[in-house]
Amino acid sequence: MTNEDRPTVYDVVIVGAGPSGAVAAKRLAEEGMSVICLEQGEYPDYTKLRHSGFEFELTKNQYFASNPNRRKAPSDYPINVNSSDVEPLMWNGVGGSSVLYAAAWHRLKPSDFRVRTVDGIADDWPLNYADLEPFYTRVENDFAVSGVGGDPAYPPGFDIPLPPFPLSEMDRKLAAAHDRLGWHWWPGSNSIATVKHNGLLPCVRRGACTWGCFDGAKASVDRTHWPACIKLGVKLVQNARALRVETGSDGLATGVTYVDRVTGRTHFQPGRTVIVSANGVGTPRLLLNSASSDHPNGLANSSGLVGKRLMMHPYGTVSGLFDDFFENWQGPYGQRSYSLEFAETRKDTNFYRGAKWQLMGMGGPLATVGTWPWGGNGDVWGENFHPTVQKRFGRSAYWGIMAEDLPNEENMVSLDPDLTDADGMPAAKVTYKASQNTWDLLHYNQERAVESMREAGAYETVVMPLQRETGWHILGSVRMGDDPRTSVVDSFGRSHDVPNLFVMDGSVMPTSGAVNPTGTVAALALRNSEAIIENRRSQPVSNAAEALRVGP
């Protein structure tokens, strides 16, 4: 092999260009490390979104649908969900799922890191709120978080860098109701710029957030991080689907084998350190597919926990119908406001942990005869059509109830024995059942949310217990911990088995909390990256990767 044929050995090979991969790529490149990122998709084409005309509602789910099994884009891989109560949702391209996320932004609470200590169930994290706090603060700036600081649902210090959105009539109604009920309520915190910041423009509130933000205000990392990464010299390879993380005879990772989806050719990309940031389904899929004679059960899997303990924040809704007409269709689609009143374990209930409630936009007229958040829509046609539209459009609001999910080894991601993606890589199979604790938790919170809506003036409420296509948050399937027997990676995302292999996405979370996870995912990726930088001189590197090294 001549030097020209040899691939460059990078300091770091990252799989996945979503928030976790992007945060790591940027920070490591800032310190002068050479970084290459393999991403199975491309940059999103925002021109495919009809964000401003009356066509918006009709077309929004065409290219920017969040369920990969429906979207079936070339970069997607199939996920067998036959044995799952909840379907995982994601975007497979540069920016990852932040291209579609609603951008509701949260930190975990201190108790979320200490579930075993506080409640005697599940597990504690190998780090705590104080450990993560400085990293939360830094990523909140990078992700242009807007809102209001001083929320008493958090310890002091959760200061939000950008100003909030104006309160809407919907917020006012629910805030007043919670004042009367004595319950917590807070203006929404979102990773959406309200003023020009970090390459983002101020949000114009068209509400396309979960179908791609054409107006350039939402902090998706294709906008907030990748331009900076490219300037820093990070090589981003699009259409590169990682098939396996390879290891040498010394047991260390040597790099990643990937298929170029355009040419169909397979390549090996060597690297001194490998980071997998492919999300809670994609990461265990890749590690399990990296099985070899040395790692027959998949890479980094001596604990047997790769893929297990999947958590997806089961989600229900409570909608309220009101007599008066108010704007309920504009953005931000994410959260206008939220309540953490019922987010901790309570003494008066039969379940552990709690839920976050988020007050959401309802969409335009077409949404009033759709299924979300109304459940079935079989009976809205014919003579019911107009009364339904009149009742719901501009006269409704809903609480999304996000349940803290507890880990259970039977909820898992595995490789499907039969199904493959277009490149022949085994598809992911998701096995997931909501627990009795989840059902009780949702039931209790929905009853309280009905009270909240009634107090706000709703004359009727519609409760949807657990919605299936709500797997936005894919967590826990490569858990972190101090003990290699009961965890896959350590508190810095480093594999116990393969010390130059890191996992940096929500799959490392030992418990899920009840809030949207990207703040935590990004803060963990930043913390892990700082640890890589600090330890770079002592980082073990595979001899095989070193042998391939080209140049100095």
Partner 1 sequence: MYNIDDFQTRIAWVAETLIPSDVKSGMPSATEAGVPGRLLPRALKERDDLAPSFFKALLRLPETRPRDPLDAIRALGADDFHTISFLIAGAYFLDEAINRKLRYPGQEALYETPDYDEIMEAIERVQARGSVYVDVPEGRGSA
Ligand X SMILES: Cc1cc2nc3c(=O)[nH]c(=O)nc-3n(C[C@H](O)[C@H](O)[C@H](O)COP(=O)(O)OP(=O)(O)OC[C@H]3O[C@@H](n4cnc5c(N)ncnc54)[C@H](O)[C@@H]3O)c2cc1C
Considering only residues 19 to 58 of the shown chain, the ones binding partner 1 according to CB under 8 A are 50-58
Rounded to whole angstroms, the Cα distance separating 399 from 444 reads: 14
Contact between 278 and ligand X (CB under 6 A)?
yes
Residue 130 token pair? 């104080």
Choose among ligand SF4, ligand X, partner 1, none what residue 332 binds, the Cβ cut-off being 5 to 8 Å by kind. Answer: ligand SF4
Nearest to 92 by CA among 275, 277, 329: 277
Contact between 357 and partner 1 (CB under 8 A)?
no
Residue 168 token pair? 């809407």
Nearest to 39 by CA among 89, 96, 90, 88: 96
Contact between 19 and ligand X (CB under 6 A)?
yes
Specify which residues 396 forms β-bridges with: 321
Residues that contact ligand SF4, how many (by CB under 6 A): 15
Rounded to whole angstroms, the Cα distance separating 502 from 366 reads: 45
**Cβ burial, residue 480 (10 Å; 0-12/13-18/19+):** buried
Within residues 500-519, the interface with partner 1 by CB under 8 A covers 510
CB of 52 to ligand SF4, least distance (A): 10
Choose among ligand SF4, ligand X, partner 1, none what residue 21 binds, the Cβ cut-off being 5 to 8 Å by kind. Answer: ligand X
Contact between 171 and ligand SF4 (CB under 6 A)?
no
Sign of the alpha-carbon torsion through 35, 491, 509, 359 = negative
Within residues 317-336, the interface with ligand SF4 by CB under 6 A covers 331-333
Residue pair 22/283 in contact by the 8 Å Cβ criterion: no
Contact between 44 and ligand SF4 (CB under 6 A)?
no
Residue pair 137/156 in contact by the 8 Å Cβ criterion: no
Of the candidate spans 124-132, 148-156, 308-316, 516-524, the one that interacts with ligand X by CB under 6 A turns out to be: 516-524
**501-503/266-276 β-pairing:** parallel
Site string for ligand X, 319-358 (x = CB under 6 A): ---------------x------------------------
With H, G, I as helix, E, B as strand and everything else as coil, classify residue 15: strand
Residues that contact partner 1, how many (by CB under 8 A): 88
Of the candidate spans 94-102, 136-144, 340-348, 359-367, the one that interacts with ligand X by CB under 6 A turns out to be: 94-102
Task: Report in angstroms the alpha-carbon separations of 552 from 4, 137, 246, 247.
Answer: 15, 38, 24, 23
**10-15/266-276 β-pairing:** parallel
Omega before 44 within 30 of 0, i.e. cis:
no
User: 12, 13, 14, 17: which one contacts ligand X (CB under 6 A)?
Assistant: 17
Contact between 152 and partner 1 (CB under 8 A)?
yes
User: 24, 89, 145, 524: which one contacts ligand X (CB under 6 A)?
Assistant: 89
Residues that bind ligand SF4 (CB under 6 A): 192, 203-209, 213, 215, 217-218, 331-333
Residues that bind ligand X (CB under 6 A): 15-21, 38-41, 66, 89-90, 92-93, 96-98, 100-104, 210, 241-242, 277-279, 282, 286, 334, 472-473, 505-506, 516-518, 521
